[in-house]
Structure 1
Amino acid sequence: MKILLVHNQYSTTGGEDQALAREKAMLIQWLGEENIFEYTVSVNDYSKWQILRSIFYSRTQYCNVYDLVKQHQIDIVHVHNYFPVLTASVFKAAKAAGAKLVHTVHNYRWWCISGNFYRPTVGICTLCVDQKNFWNGIKHCCYRNSFLQSLVAKLAYTYYKKIGVFEWIDQFWVLTQFQYQQLIKLGLPVDKLQLKPNMLDPATFDAAEFHATQQATIQAMPNAQRKGFLYIGRLDAEKGIEYILSEWVKLSEQYQLTIIGSGSLEAALKSQYNQPNIIFTGALPFDQVNQYLQKAQYTLQPSLWYETMGLTIIESMQQGTPVIGFNIGTRPELIEHGKTGFICTPHQFIRTIQLAAHYPDEDYDAMVMNAKAYAQNFAPDLIMAQQLHLYENLLSQ
C-alpha cells in the first residue's frame, strides 16, 4: 500500500500541521518509508498575486500531484488542507491518475469561507448555510477580514463545488462525532463519512504508561504540586482568549493564568492585561509546553467556535491535566464534566474557575487519573491501526 499525503501549510504552524506530522511518522513506522510520500507547499512561499492567479485552478499543482501518483504507483492520495495554493486541482489530479482519494476535513471552509462558522461580532454564525446566500460571507469580510479576498474565496469555493469535487472524493474523514453530525446536516453522504480522530504525539507517548494506566496503577501528581491555570493556543478572537482575560481580571491575584501561544491579538492583550497573575510566554516548543502541562492544575479550552477536535484537550489529559471548556461544539464530547474536567457556559466561567481551584484533593486526584485514562483512546498505535483499516477497506471497494 502506497500513500501520498498532500497538504497546504498555513503561514504559521497549527494543529493541522502537527496532526499531519504525527500521521506521517506513524505511517512510516507501520508501512515503511518507501511506501509513504508527501507533497507539501507553504503559503509563505507564494506571493498574493501568485495565489490569486491560480486560485481557481493550478496547472502546476495538478501536474505535480498527477506525476507523483503515476511515478510511484500511489494507491491512496490523502489530502489535508488544500487552500489557497493547492486548490481543488489536487483532488482532480488524484482521481485522473487513478488513485483512491481521502480528505480529512480539518475545518468548515467548504461551507463557510472563514472556516469556522464564527464572526467576532455575533459568535457562532451559519448564515451562509441557513440562508444559502452567496453574499453573506463577502459582505461581512469573513475571509482574512477583507472584502476582496472574501469575494475571491467565495467564488473559488463556488467553482470547486460546481466542477464536482465532492464526487471525486471517496472518503471524508472527520475528527469527532460532533463534526460527523455537522457534516451530515451540511449534506455530505453518510456512506462517504468516516470518523478518525487525531492522535497523540508518537514522540511523547509512552507505551508502558499506557498499559499501566489501563490497570489504574499510575500515581497521580498530588493536587498540592499543581499550580495555576494554562491556556495553549492562538491568540485570536475565535479562540476565546479575549473573553477569558476580560473575566480573569475579576479574580484575585491568587488565580494565576499562563498563556502559551501567539497570534493577531498578542501585542494588544499583553499591553491591556499587564498584571502579576497573567503571564504571556509567547509560542513555545512542544517539549516546553508539556513541562507547563505537567505542572498546571487545569488547562482552559475557551474556544468560541465549534472546533473540529482540539488537540490541546487530549494532550493536556495525557499529562494528567484536567480541562475546563465551554459548552460549545466538540468540548462536551471530549471533556466529561466532573470526571476529566469541567464544562461550563461562558457566563459560568468565573464560578467554574473558583470551584475548580478549590476542588477537594481526593476528587481532583481521581480527575487526573480519569484524564490520563481517557487520553489513551488517542494512543498513536490505536489510531494508526484504525487508519490503516480504513485505507484497506477503501482499496477493497
Structure 2
Amino acid sequence: MSGTLLAINNYHYRRGGADAIFLDQMDMFARSGWNAVPFSMQHPDNLPSEWSPYFVPEIEFGRQGGLMAKIGHGLEIIYSRKARQSLAALIDQVRPDVAHAHNVYHHISPAIFPLLKKKGIPTVMTVHDLKLACPSYKMLAPDGVCERCKGGRIYNVLLHRCMKGSIALSGLVMVETAVHRALRLYRDHIDKLVVPSRFYRQKLIEWGWPGDKLVYIPNFVDHAISEQRFAVEEGDYFLFAGRLAPEKGLDTLIRAAARSGQRLRVAGTGPEEAELRALAQRENADVEFLGYLSGQALHETVAGAKALVLPSEWYENAPVSILEAYALGRPVIGTDIGGIPELIKPGETGLIAAPGDPDDLAGALNAMNQFSASERKKMGERGRAWVNQEFSRGAFFERTLDLYRGLGIPSLG
C-alpha cells in the first residue's frame, strides 16, 4: 500500500546530514510507489522540483541591510506566516496522508505544525539535533558541553552567547524558544518524534519530553555503498572526515596523532582549518589536510584507511559517517559521547576513547595499529554485516512505514 508523503525540510539540496536523510527518504518512498512531495525554502542550490513554486521565500538572518528588514525577517524566523500560507496551498493541491518534517528551525519555522493539526494530517518530525531541549541545538556552550538551560532556564543561551558568540543571534533564539514553548508548537501539534539514537531519546526524556512520543529509528546507509569494492589496499593512515569545527575534537586528535606517532589524514574544511594546520606544525604531527572530499573520492579514501576516527567532544546524534565506514569495510575509533558509542562494538567493529583526552585517544590509535591488516579487515566486515542487517535502507523504510501505520493512516490499512 502507498500514499502521499509530505516531506518538509528547510533545504532541498544536500547541504548537510539532515538534508541528505530528507532527500533519501523521499527517494525511497517514491521508489516504493508513494507520491513524495517536498516543502522547503527557495534557494539557488535547490534540486529541481515541480512543487518549488510553493516553497517559502529564502530567509538568511543577518543578510538584510536595514533595521526594519532585520526585524521583519526575525519575526518570520520565529513564526513564519508565509510558510503557513504556502503550505496551506500545497496541502489543498496534494492532500497528503502523512507529513514528515526534518529541520524547520529559523526558515520554515514550527508555525506550520498547528496548520497540519487543523487539517487532520498525522505529523512526524525527525530529531536531527537537540533544538527541542537546547535553544542553540547542540547543548554546547563556549566552555564545552552544557545543560544550563534545563528546567526552562533559557536565558543562559543569551548569558553565554551560545550562538556564534553573538548577542543578537543568541537573543533571537532565546525569544524564539520562549515563543515556541508558550504556544506549544512542537508538544501539542506533532504526533511522534523520530530519534536516530537511543542517547537522544534518553536526553529528551531527561529534559521533560514524554517517552511515548519518542520513537527510535536509526539512520541508514545506502546498500550501494556496501556493494562497492575499490581496488584500494589499506594505507598507512587514520582518517577524519567531516567539518573542521571546534566541537569535532580535531585539536585532540592532532595531539593524539603526534603522541602516538600515527599518520593522520583529514578530509574536510571548516572554520578551524588554519588553527589546526598551525597546531599540527607545532606538535610535529604527521597530518595531511585533503580539503573537501565527496562521492567516490571520499569513499576510496575511507576504504584505504586503517580506521575512521570520530574524536567528537559534543553530543553527536547518530553519525552516518560511522555507518558508511562500516559499509566500506573499515573499523571505527569513536569517543564515548552522545550517540557514538552505541554504533561501535568495542573490539569487534572498532574502539572507543574518552572525549577530549589526547592520551587516551593516542592509546586507541596505537591499539588499532597493533592489530594486523587482516584483523582490521575482519572488524570492518563485521561492521558491514551489522549495517546490512540493522542500518539498511530497507530496515529504515519498514520501521518508518510501521510508524506511519501506527498513526492510523487509512490508506495504509
Could you tell me the TM-score, scaled by structure 2's length?
0.86
- Residue 315 in 1 paired to residue 324 in 2? yes
Q: Is 182-191 or 162-171 further displaced after alignment?
A: 182-191
Q: Is 35-44 or 308-317 further displaced after alignment?
A: 35-44
- Residue 247 in 1 paired to residue 256 in 2? yes
Taking a change above 3 Å as real, the CA distance of residues 187 and 47 of structure 1, as seen in their structure-2 partners, is closer
Paired AA for residue 368 in structure 1: G
Deviation at 1:282, TM superposition (A): 1.7
The CA distance in 2 between the partners of 1:18 and 1:285, in whole Å, is 13
* Cα deviation code 1:39-61 (max 9, x no counterpart): 11268843422531312221110
Taking a change above 3 Å as real, the CA distance of residues 10 and 64 of structure 1, as seen in their structure-2 partners, is closer
The CA distance in 2 between the partners of 1:12 and 1:225, in whole Å, is 29
Q: Which residue of 2 aligns with 1:383?
A: 396
Paired AA for residue 135 in structure 1: Y
Paired residues in the alignment total 379
Deviation at 1:362, TM superposition (A): 4.7
Partner of residue 197 from structure 2, selected from 170, 176, 180: 176
Partner of residue 363 from structure 1, selected from 348, 372, 375: 375
Taking a change above 3 Å as real, the CA distance of residues 287 and 120 of structure 1, as seen in their structure-2 partners, is farther
Q: Which residue of 2 aligns with 1:273?
A: 280
Paired AA for residue 196 in structure 1: I
Q: Alignment partner of 2:15: what SS?
A: coil
- Residue 93 in 1 paired to residue 111 in 2? no
Paired AA for residue 371 in structure 1: G
Partner of residue 210 from structure 2, selected from 186, 189, 192: 189
* Cα deviation code 1:244-276 (max 9, x no counterpart): 123323343xx2211111111123323443578
Matched-pair contact (CA < 8 Å) for 1:120–1:237: no
Q: Is 262-271 or 225-234 further displaced after alignment?
A: 262-271
The CA distance in 2 between the partners of 1:109 and 1:47, in whole Å, is 18
Q: Alignment partner of 2:188: what SS?
A: helix
Taking a change above 3 Å as real, the CA distance of residues 239 and 10 of structure 1, as seen in their structure-2 partners, is farther
Taking a change above 3 Å as real, the CA distance of residues 197 and 258 of structure 1, as seen in their structure-2 partners, is same
Deviation at 1:77, TM superposition (A): 1.1
Q: Which residue of 2 aligns with 1:114?
A: 136
The CA distance in 1 between the partners of 2:269 and 2:42, in whole Å, is 19
Taking a change above 3 Å as real, the CA distance of residues 190 and 39 of structure 1, as seen in their structure-2 partners, is same
Q: Which residue of 2 aligns with 1:213?
A: none
Taking a change above 3 Å as real, the CA distance of residues 11 and 378 of structure 1, as seen in their structure-2 partners, is closer
The CA distance in 2 between the partners of 1:375 and 1:292, in whole Å, is 19
Matched-pair contact (CA < 8 Å) for 1:344–1:352: yes
Taking a change above 3 Å as real, the CA distance of residues 77 and 314 of structure 1, as seen in their structure-2 partners, is same
Q: Alignment partner of 1:339: what SS?
A: coil
Q: Is 37-46 or 378-387 further displaced after alignment?
A: 37-46
Q: Which residue of 2 aligns with 1:72?
A: 94
The CA distance in 2 between the partners of 1:332 and 1:174, in whole Å, is 16
Matched-pair contact (CA < 8 Å) for 1:326–1:345: yes
Taking a change above 3 Å as real, the CA distance of residues 202 and 177 of structure 1, as seen in their structure-2 partners, is same
Partner of residue 258 from structure 1, selected from 265, 268, 271: 265
Q: Alignment partner of 1:231: what SS?
A: strand
Structure 1: where are the runs of 5+ without partners?
Answer: 210-217
The CA distance in 1 between the partners of 2:217 and 2:42, in whole Å, is 25
Paired AA for residue 87 in structure 1: S
Aligned alpha-carbon RMSD (Å)? 2.4
The CA distance in 2 between the partners of 1:150 and 1:289, in whole Å, is 35
The CA distance in 1 between the partners of 2:92 and 2:404, in whole Å, is 19
Taking a change above 3 Å as real, the CA distance of residues 205 and 249 of structure 1, as seen in their structure-2 partners, is closer
Q: Is 23-32 or 363-372 further displaced after alignment?
A: 363-372
Q: Which residue of 2 aligns with 1:215?
A: none
Structure 2: where are the runs of 5+ without partners?
Answer: 45-57, 62-69
Partner of residue 364 from structure 2, selected from 345, 352, 356: 352
Q: Which residue of 1 aligns with 2:304?
A: 295
- Residue 201 in 1 paired to residue 190 in 2? no
Q: Which residue of 2 aligns with 1:214?
A: none
Taking a change above 3 Å as real, the CA distance of residues 363 and 280 of structure 1, as seen in their structure-2 partners, is same
Q: Is 197-206 or 22-31 further displaced after alignment?
A: 197-206
The CA distance in 1 between the partners of 2:397 and 2:43, in whole Å, is 28
- Residue 394 in 1 paired to residue 407 in 2? yes
Paired AA for residue 299 in structure 1: L
The CA distance in 1 between the partners of 2:307 and 2:73, in whole Å, is 41
Q: Which residue of 1 aligns with 2:172?
A: 152
The CA distance in 2 between the partners of 1:109 and 1:334, in whole Å, is 22
Identical-pair percentage: 26
Deviation at 1:366, TM superposition (A): 2.5
The CA distance in 2 between the partners of 1:393 and 1:276, in whole Å, is 53
* Cα deviation code 1:194-215 (max 9, x no counterpart): 1111111355354xx9xxxxxx
Could you tell me the TM-score, scaled by structure 1's length?
0.89
Taking a change above 3 Å as real, the CA distance of residues 128 and 299 of structure 1, as seen in their structure-2 partners, is same
The CA distance in 2 between the partners of 1:342 and 1:221, in whole Å, is 26
- Residue 343 in 1 paired to residue 352 in 2? yes
Matched-pair contact (CA < 8 Å) for 1:43–1:85: no
The CA distance in 1 between the partners of 2:12 and 2:23, in whole Å, is 14
Deviation at 1:221, TM superposition (A): 9.6
Q: Which residue of 1 aligns with 2:47?
A: none
